[in-house]
Amino acid sequence: MTTQAAVRVEVPRPVAPEDAARADFYALLAALFQRAPDARLLQTLAIAPPIEGGSEELARAWSQLAAASAAMDPEAAAEEYETLFVGVGKAKVSIYSGWYTSALWMEPARLRIIEALSGLGLARPAGVSEPEDHFSALFETMRVLVAGGAGRAPASLAEQRQFYEGHVKPGVGAFLAAVREAPESNYYRKVAAVGEAFVGIENESFNLG
C-alpha cells in the first residue's frame, strides 16, 4: 500500500474589475518610469479609449496623455527620459524614493523596502539592476500585490495598504510634482498628471478601506 503526500495548490483569486484597472495603472506607471515609451506603447496610448465615470481629474489627465502620445516621437521621448531621469552627471529629477524620504527615517529607504519585500515573499527579478527604491520597481510591486501574477494570488487589502503607505505614499507625491514642474518635462508632465490623479484615488481608497 502506498500513500501520496497531499500537495497544496494555490488557486489565484479572481481579480475584481476595479482592482484589474488599478493594476493596469500601476503597470503603466512602472513601464513609463522604467524607460521611455517606444513607438508601440505610444501608439497604444494614443488610441486608448477615454475614461468614463469616476474621477474627472483622472479622465482629463488620461485624455491629455493620449493626445500627447499621438503627437510624441519615440526618439524625442527617449531624449526627454534621458534628460529628466538619467542625465550626464546628475539627473534633473531623482527617480528614487529615498531622495524624497531620507529625512523621515534613520534607515535608508532601500533597506526598508528590501525587508518589506522579503516579508511579502517577493524578490528582485533576475536581470533587474535598479535599486529597490526606484519608483518603477515600487509601482511594479504594487501591481503584483493588487493583481497577483506568476502563480501568486493578489495580496490582501491590508498588505497592499501597508506597503503603499510605508514605501510608496511617503515620496510619490513629491516625485510626481518634481516631474511635472521640471522645465525639461514635456511628455512626462502628462505622465505625472495621470500619476497624481491615480495616486489621489489610491490615497482616498486606502483611507476609506
* Torsion on CA atoms 15, 201, 42, 34, rounded to nearest 10: -80
| Cβ-based neighbour number of residue 150 at 10 Å | 7
Name which of 75, 92, 87, 10 is nearest 37 in CA terms: 75
- DSSP, collapsed to helix, strand or coil, labels residue 126 as coil
- Cell 531624449 locates to 79
Stated pTM of the model: 0.88
Q: Which domains does the chain have, with CATH numbers?
A: 17-208 (1.10.3480.10)
Distances, alpha carbon 3 to alpha carbons 6, 34, in Å: 9, 50
List, for residues 82-112, the tens digit of each pLDDT value.
999 997 667 899 999 989 987 655 567 788 8
Q: Which residues of the chain have pLDDT under 50?
A: 1-11
Cβ atoms of 181 and 199 closer than 8 Å? no
